[in-house]
Every structure is written in structure tokens, then in C-alpha cells.
Structure 1
Amino acid sequence: MGTNSQPDTRLGVSLLSMFEHIYVINLPSRTDRKQEIARQLARIGLSFDHPAVTLFPASRPDDRGEFPTIGTRGCYESHMGVIKSAIAQGWKTYLVIEDDADFSSDFEHRIEALVASARNIEWDIFYGWMPEVDGETVPAGPDTLAEIPAGQGVLQTHFMGFKSSVLDEMIRYIQAIYHRPFGDPRGGAMHVDGAISWFRAAHPHYRTFAPTTPVAIQRPSRSDIHSLRWFDRIDVLSPMLVALRKLKARLQKSH
């Protein structure tokens, strides 16, 4: 089923059988990203009106503090906020999707098989893509779930799942990093993907899995985390940049 077909609500039900709740992180000012991620959810019959989907307002602090940029700090605070919400709500499992995530072009054909595979393994943390694993042979196959070694860092946080068993320790660990200065040898202010990788390395008993073929990619769009490039500061170029980024996203998903 392509992205222009009628949505298959069974797929949303299947995804929610693995993840009890879905959080979508969106900076309120980025209505463009909200619309794009809404289209992704619609592909599987989900929306922001669904009781199992929460549109979570991203943080935008006034200053960067010890972090590289204001956006880096805001992203970190947003993910901490989601963890705290999941703990407070008592979700046994949850999926967090950043608003620049795109489901893979074959997502509809694969998600049910991947969810079925996940039922047969004891996972604690789930990524929607497999990084290049140093020195390891990762099994091939679009519906294969493979374990990511605890010491293997994973960049990006645009599509991640967690079980409640990991949350109490994880929030304490990454909050400690948040409050330490940049460069602290125990782990200081950094990108949130780095903090989660540090946590995984320090807690190897928690097992991390990912599909060997990505089910989600990060859509090319104007960054809210890094400093803007010169062409993103010129308003007249905005429509052209949006079109080019959509083309780039389509090309990425076709590979």
C-alpha cells in the first residue's frame, strides 16, 4: 500500500499492540512539521485525536546554558519531559516520534511482521533503525530485529521505544547529565542521543533492538537544534527549500 492509498487502521492497532502509547514531540511554532508528521500517522489510521497519541509540546528555553545550542537543550528537555509523562501515566511501553520523522516507504508492508518479531524477544529499548555496528555482523532481512551492543552509540532520536522497566533509572541518569557542565568526565550537557547512549553503556543489562532495515528516517527540514545555515535565514528561499527537502526525503525513502 502506497502513501496515497486509503489508510489501514489495522496497522495503527498493530503498532499500538507493541507500544501502549505514542508521543509526538513538536515545537508549537513548527506547524509545517506538525502537518508532515500528521500525514505519517494518517498512513496507518492514527491521528492526534486518537486517545493513544499525545502531541507533546517541545521545549524552547531562553538560553543554551551548558549545551551547544538552545535547540540542543530544548530537545534534551523535551525527551526528559516525555519520560516523566510516561512514568506519571504508568505506560508499560511507549514510542516517541520526533516531528521530522518519516515512516519508510515500505512501512505498511513490514510493521506487522516486526511487531510479531518483537513479541519473541526481551527488549527494553527500541530504535527504528540499525546503526553501523563496529566489528559485528548484523543479520540481513527487512523484517529482522537485531540487538545493538550496549557500548554501541546510536545517533538520532526520531523514532524510539521504551519499556517502563528502564524509565526510573534512565530519567535519573540523564537528569544528572543535564545538570552537569559540558565536558564533565562523568557525562555533562550533551545531545540527548548521546546521553541515552551513555546510559545504555552504563546499564548493559538493558537490551536494545532495532530492525536491520529502517522503518523510519529523519526527514530533511530546517533544523531547530543546530544553528541555521545561511540559506535558511533568507525568507524568499523558503518555498524552494521546502520543495527540495521533500524531494530529498522521497529519494531517501526510495532507497
Structure 2
Amino acid sequence: MATLSSFFDRIYILNLPHRVDRRKATIKELESIGVFLKPEKIEVFPAIKPDKAEPFKKLGSKGCFLSVLAILGHVRDEGANNVLIFQDDIKFPPFFNKHESSLIQQLELQNWDIAQFGHLTTEIDDADIKDKFATWRDSESKAIGAHFFAVNGKSLDRFIHFLEELMSRPSGHPEGGAMPIDGAFTVFRRQNPDIVRLLAIPSFGGQRSSRSDVTPKWFDKLPVTSNLAQLYRHWIYH
């Protein structure tokens, strides 16, 4: 049976070292779909926390971007066939285990460059989900989310070069400048029509509700309300 663990050469979970809560929750979530940590195969990657946001608008966006870039460079140097990356707030839907094998088998048969298993997009409607459940769609439309995605080994050099170019330009540059990594997927596809960027139908991964280091809510900044928010999240999601 085709699985994430069998198909991908390298699997990484992006996690800031001090976010032990997220790391533990994500390991538990991955184990629920049969993905277990394994040295040099499935590992937690210590996410980068930069000192300043520039040229990005937000510090967290820059950290995520740099972390993904570091992983891609490492995987390229190793000569891996592909890589799968999770953010440490990943949450899988109830139908994941039932349709995982079919989705992977379809991916094996396709010529792809980037595959977003998890995303938010207005392009996929209710009819798509009903009639084309557990399939892929090539898309250049905007899709939010980099919490569960893959990059094909054959595209690593090209994508890394593209990301480095984005980072060399200011945010808002007409040719594409510093931006969140999910925005980079969309711009990369639009500027390179031959690139195959796939979206899973429906999204096969969402985001757990937890305190964010990228966009913290006001109640996460206050000691008392932060503790209450954590208790509430634990109660409804565990």
C-alpha cells in the first residue's frame, strides 16, 4: 500500500525548538496516520528564528521561508528524489487514512513539481469535492497554506534559485519579492507555466488551533488569557 512514508525520501516537521507543546502534538498527530520519526528519513527540523523581519513583512514568515529553504538545500545536496514538509500545527481530516493510498498512487503517476496536500483555496468548490474526491488538480491560482506540501527532487534546483531571488528583492517588488512561502508557490507557478503545482481535492491537512509564533492573537500575549486559551484548545482538540 502506498503511503507518505514509503513514497517520500525525506519527511521533515518544522518546529521551533522552544515549542515543545507543538512538537509533541504533531508527533502524536503523525503517528495517528502511521508516520513515525526515523533518523535520516522522518525528522523534526529545528526551525530558524531570525533576529529581524526585513526584507519580509513579518518575522515568522521570514523564519518559515528560511527554514524551508534550508531543508530544500539539504535535500538537494543529498540527492533525494523528493521531500515532504509539515508545519508543527498539522491536523489530518477523518478521511485521511481511507484515501491516503489512492492519493499517493495518483501522485506517483503524475509529472509534478510541487504538491500541496493541505491548503485553503476558493478555486475548489463543493462539486469538485463531491465528484473528484481524493484527486489532484494542476493550478496556478492562489492557495493559502504551507502546512503540508511536497517538492519533487527534479525541481529542487529551480525552486531554490527562485526562492533566493525572491529573498533578494523587497516585499511587494513587481517581479516578486520577499513573501510567505505559500505565496511563493503561486508566484513560481504563474511565472513558470511549465511547472506543475498540484492541489489535493479536498485539502488533506488543516491546521490545529494553537498559539502562533507567526501571527499571535491578542489573548496569547497576556499571561492569564494565554493560559486559558491553551486549556481551551487542549479541551476541544485532544
TM-score (norm 1): 0.84
Overall identity of the aligned pairs, in %: 28
**Residues 222 and 232, structure 1, Cα contact 8 Å, conserved in 2:** yes
TM superposition shift of 1:125? 1.3
- Equivalent residue, structure 2, for 1:244: 232
TM superposition shift of 1:249? 5.0
| Counterpart AA for 2:92 | F
Q: Deviations over 1:108-131 (max 9, x none)?
A: 222112112223322221111362
- Equivalent residue, structure 2, for 1:154: 143
**Residues 59 and 214, structure 2, Cα contact 8 Å, conserved in 1:** yes
After superposition, the Cα gap between the structure-2 partners of 1:118 and 1:134, relative to the gap in structure 1 and judged at 3 Å, is closer
Q: Distance in 2 between matches of 1:237 and 1:90?
A: 47
Matches within 5 A, 1:84-103: 84-103=73-92
TM superposition shift of 1:162? 1.2
Moved more, 38-47 or 27-36: 38-47
- Equivalent residue, structure 1, for 2:164: 175
State the Cα RMSD in Å: 2.3
TM superposition shift of 1:175? 0.8
Q: Deviations over 1:231-252 (max 9, x none)?
A: 10122233421233345657xx
**Residues 22 and 89, structure 2, Cα contact 8 Å, conserved in 1:** yes
Matches within 5 A, 1:212-251: 212-226=201-215, 228-246=216-234, 249=237
- Equivalent residue, structure 2, for 1:25: 14
**Residues 124 and 201, structure 2, Cα contact 8 Å, conserved in 1:** no
**Residues 76 and 192, structure 1, Cα contact 8 Å, conserved in 2:** yes
- Equivalent residue, structure 2, for 1:3: none
> Which ranges in structure 2 are unaligned for 5 or more consecutive residues?
none
- Equivalent residue, structure 2, for 1:7: none
After superposition, the Cα gap between the structure-2 partners of 1:141 and 1:117, relative to the gap in structure 1 and judged at 3 Å, is farther
Q: What is the SS of the residue equivalent to 2:231?
A: helix
- Equivalent residue, structure 2, for 1:68: 57
What number of residue pairs does the alignment pair up?
Answer: 237
Q: Deviations over 1:69-105 (max 9, x none)?
A: 2111111111111111110111101110010111222
| Counterpart AA for 2:29 | Q
TM superposition shift of 1:24? 0.7
| Counterpart AA for 1:230 | W
Aligned match of 2:111 in 104, 115, 122? 122
Aligned match of 2:123 in 107, 114, 133? 133
Pair 1:108-2:89 in alignment: no
**Residues 94 and 161, structure 1, Cα contact 8 Å, conserved in 2:** yes
**Residues 174 and 196, structure 1, Cα contact 8 Å, conserved in 2:** no
- Equivalent residue, structure 2, for 1:40: 29
TM-score (norm 2): 0.90
Pair 1:186-2:175 in alignment: yes
